[in-house]
Structure 1
Amino acid sequence: MKTFKQRAARRIAAISMLLALISGPLAWLISREIAEENMVSLAMEESRHILGDRDSFALPAEKQLPLRADEAALAITGGLFDIAEIYDADGRKLAEASTPAGEAVESLLPKHGRPNYRTPSYQSLKLPEQGWILRIFVPLEGRDAERPAGFFEGVRIVPEWQKEELMRGALTMALIVAAASLLCGLTIYPFVVHLSAENSRRAEALLESHLSMMEAMGRAVARRDSDTGAHNYRVAWIAACIGEALGLERPAMQALIVGSFLHDVGKIGIPDAILLKPGRLDAEEMATMRTHVAQGEAIVAGIGWLDEAAAVVAGHHEKWDGKGYPRALSGENIPLAARIFAIADVFDALVSRRPYKEAMPFAAAIEIIRQDSGSHFDPALAAIFLNIAETLHTRLQCCDEADCRRLLDDKVRHHFFAQA
């Protein structure tokens, strides 16, 4: 749980930092844009106020109109604007006024044709020497709502103090948003840990019930087959050890363990007269016995958590050379889990004492595995097993059923449950 909390803290911190890195600059841009638009709106309102009687721009009097425009342009220039230009309804320039700073930048501004716009707008320009410049375009309303009475265009060279103030405001907003992102991550961390821990507890409880059911099914089969159940624990543990030596991933290990433990689940459907017969089975009885594979497949099919057992249940009697049953699969057409289990199953059968036989010496059993490599067993898997066989045999030699159960339980805990 401690490791989970550390992972959760790291991930939430990483996400919070990412959000801060994204939202901070975004907030800065939005704040800067809003401040810029507010400044433009103020300039527009000021220009409209100073221009005064809008209807005068719609009058056809040729002398009054230029005079009015000249007065307005001069009044606007030097306040919010460094350049003021006024046009009539046809887009002809009526007046222009500039400050010395405006005259210095006028030749650097983009040129345009006669104004013919219907809504206010602006351009934000960055000139190398002069810095930040706002260029504002305002249609002047007249008596005709469909046609502007004239046009006003103003240029403002934004002073350094205003730029600094705007930047400070945008930066403050960006820092507030970034801090809020980090604070949000800090706030949700305990809730995420609590919910995840609760989900983990519920998932583990469900898994515990599934594994308990698996164990009950395996033990039921073993008892019908006159076995204590230790065989299922041993072969599942041996198969898991081979899978670990092979480097199987977690899902494959889970499928291998479940399938190994339930490999003979189909024997539930075999009549006692055949299953418990002390002597050798005749051909007809052997044919019936072999149906335990198909019956096992039918039992595990459709049960979601047992689907992973199907490969071993269906293929544990197949042989590398294709002489196994029920499908006579060969080579790598046999599922990997079934090929691993075949080695574990035969080895345990050889070295274990049964009511009808004594345990075979380890060296003799190893020789059989070696001889059947390439015929019964996958030779690559057999080679891996032979490297660890003595260690496994030594570990199991003095184990009773309870010891074997504990060995397998360790594997189950390692491969099925979240590691602390």
Structure 2
Amino acid sequence: MASTLRTYRRLVASRIAAVSLIVAALVSALAWVVSIENLEEEAVGLAVEESRRAVLQMNAGDTARPLVERAEEAARLLTGGFFDIAEIYDERGERLAEHATARGEAVEAQLQRHARPQHTHPGYESMHLPDGRWVLRVFVPVWRDAQQPGSGLLGYVEGVRVVPDWQRDQLRGDALGAAALAALAAILCGLVITPIVMHLSRDNERKAQQVLASHVAMMEALGRAIAKRDSDTGAHNYRVAWIAARLGETLGLRDDAMRALIIGSFLHDVGKIGIPDRILLKPGRLDDDEMRVMRTHVALGEEIVADIPWLAAAAQVVACHHEKWDGSGYPRRLAGEAIPLAARIFAVADVFDALCSRRPYKEPMPLPQVLDILQRDAGSHFDPQVVRTFVPMAAELHARLDGRDEAACRALLHERITHHFGFA
């Protein structure tokens, strides 16, 4: 069980690590994209201010000069600063002037042509040219009042900046730093969360163990109460539940099915608590009326376990442990595979233990004779497949139980409970 818990904790830790790495990758990628966009927008903001200043100067200067001349001067001014290509348009979108640096002329042929400008808000394109260069193309409408778009259009500026290698490297370095910080933050969160989750997990495991221990204690208390009422030592309940568990394992029962088999086998006769002493403890043979009352212990047992959620899984064995393969059992006269498998397993374990055990009124029967009875009644009382599975393992089970007192039988069952119920 300790190995299972260690495996579970390693699984939790590995999943937190995996999630942290995935989050780190996603966050860093997002941080990279956002950082690049922010840096681009900062560059565009500078370009917008340069464009507005140039066009305003063009219109506020010597207005006696032709507009085209003033536009050409503004274009040269822009290409001498931020842009490598500058184009000036009037308010109708007609191009007035264009100027380019040598670097601008080298990339101009690679730029996609566009229609006459009509935009009312600044915008930009970020392009990576076939030769590997990074270009920003900015579109800026210029208004008479820069603070109030729509206050009167002066014209348009289109500027192209070929981002220098040093600036590109700086932008990418800044973006990479932001992405790395985001990834580091995600990983650190995972490292911080892991011990908290592990602590909570251990605390939940401890509480679950306490609850489970109380449930098993309740099951054993009910079993002892039944044994006391039936003048038994209680060892029968431990033995038959252990035999049923071993047989169920061989037949492939696991998890909930196995837990239901163990609980049901241990509490199969829980309904006898409601049978009057005059019938339950009668030394001689029961008459027909008394037998009818005795058989009500099945329904009484169903009611008891159904009212306790943790014991509800025992209902299949409690309700059907007196059914027979040929349909001659009670109370529902179920036959064949209509009888739950857990009840069919228990039937073999119960009769085997009853025949092999010493009771005040009988001696234990020799093992070969017990196996003869089980095989004889396969197909009438018992499921033939269950009997065929049980016979080869019967000698080993008989040897393990032979001469063991109640405490030793309890230890055997608790070993299976620890295995199947998840006790630490």
Q: TM-score, normalised by structure 1?
A: 0.92
Which of the numbers 344, 349, 353 marks the counterpart of 1:339? 344
The aligned runs of 1:393-408 (5 Å cut-off) are: 393-408=398-413
Cα drift, residue 37 of structure 1: 2.0
In the alignment, is the contact (CA less than 8 A) between 1:259 and 1:310 conserved in 2? Answer: yes
Are 1:50 and 1:75, in contact at CA under 8 Å, matched by a contact in 2?
Answer: yes
| Counterpart in the other structure of 1:138 | 140
After alignment, is 157-166 or 29-38 more displaced?
A: 29-38
Instruction: Return the offset for 1:63.
Output: 6.5
Tell me which amino acid in the other structure corresponds to 2:397.
Answer: L
Partner of 1:36: 40
**Residue 22 of structure 1: aligned partner:** 26
SS in 1 for 2:89: strand
Distance 1:106 1:418 in 2: 76
Q: Cα offset for 1:299? A: 0.7
| Equivalent residue runs for 1:320-359 within 5 Å | 320-359=325-364
Alignment of 1:70-219 (within 5 A): 70-142=72-144, 145-146=149-150, 148-219=153-224
Q: What residue in structure 1 maps to residue 249 of structure 2?
A: 244
The corresponding residue for 2:17 is 13
| 1:186-335 mapped onto 2 (5 Å cutoff) | 186-335=191-340
**Matched residue type, 1:297:** E
Would the alpha carbon gap of residues 304 and 113 (structure 1) be closer, same or farther in structure 2, given more than 3 Å must change? same
Query: For 1:309-358, what per-residue CA distance to the aligned partner results, in whole angstroms no more than 9, with x for missing partners?
Result: 11211122222233222222223322222222122112111211222222
Alpha carbons of structure 1 residues 153 and 347: separation in structure 2 relative to 1, 3 Å: same
Q: Distance in 2 between matches of 1:356 and 1:103?
A: 114
Indicate conservation of the 8 Å contact 1:223/1:229, yes or no: yes
Deviates more, 1:272-281 or 1:233-242: 272-281
SS at match of 1:193: helix
Structure 1 SS opposite 2:260: helix
> Does structure 1 conserve the Cα–Cα contact (< 8 Å) formed by 2:417 and 2:423?
no
* Rounded Cα–Cα distance in structure 2 between residues aligned with 1:362 and 1:391: 11
CA pair 20-130 structure 1, distance change in 2 beyond 3 A: closer
Q: Is the contact made by 2:58 and 2:74 (CA closer than 8 Å) also made in structure 1?
A: no
Letter in structure 2 aligned against 1:120: P
CA contact (8 A) 2:55 2:142 kept: no
Q: Cα offset for 1:233?
A: 0.5
The residue matched to 1:52 in structure 2 has which SS? helix
Percent identity between the two aligned chains: 57
TM-score, scaled to structure 2: 0.91
- Cα distance change, pair 337–56 in 1 and its aligned pair in 2 (3 A): farther
Which segment drifts farther, 326-335 or 225-234?
A: 326-335
Please name the residue that 1:379 is paired with: 384
- 3-state DSSP class of the match of 1:119? coil
> How far 1:167 sits from its partner (Å)?
1.6
Secondary structure in 1 matching 2:88: strand
**Take 1:381 and 1:255, find their aligned partners in 2: how far apart are those partners?**
17
Shift of 1:76: 0.8
User: Does the 8 Å CA contact 2:356/2:366 hold for their aligned counterparts?
Assistant: yes
Using the TM superposition, give the Cα deviation of residue 248 of structure 1 relative to its aligned residue in structure 2, in angstroms.
2.3
User: Aligned partner of 1:116: which letter?
Assistant: Q
| Structure 2: distance between partners of 1:17 and 1:130 | 32
Q: Distance in 2 between matches of 1:130 and 1:188?
A: 43
Instruction: Indicate how the Cα distance of structure 1 residues 54 and 416 shifts in structure 2: closer, same or farther if over 3 A, else same.
Output: farther
Paired position in structure 2 for 1:48: 52
Cα distance in 2 for residues equivalent to 1:197 and 1:210: 20
Task: Give the gaps of 5 or more residues in structure 1.
Answer: none
CA RMSD of aligned residues (A): 2.3
Q: Distance in 1 between matches of 2:98 and 2:64?
A: 17
User: C-alpha deviations, 1:147-192, integer Å up to 9, x for none?
Assistant: 6432222111112111211222222222222222222222223222
Please list the CA deviations of residues 342-399 of structure 1 after superposition, one character each: whole Å capped at 9, or x if unmatched.
Answer: 2211211121122222211111111222222233222332222223211111100121
More displaced stretch, 186-195 vs 220-229 = 186-195
Q: Once the two structures are superposed, what CA deviation does each residue of 1:31-54 show, in whole Å capped at 9, x if it has no partner? A: 222222222222222222333348
Aligned length: 416
Aligned to 1:96, the other structure's residue is in SS state strand
Cα distance in 2 between the residues matched to 1:65 and 1:321: 111
- In the TM superposition, what is the alpha-carbon distance from 1:283 to its structure 2 partner? 2.2
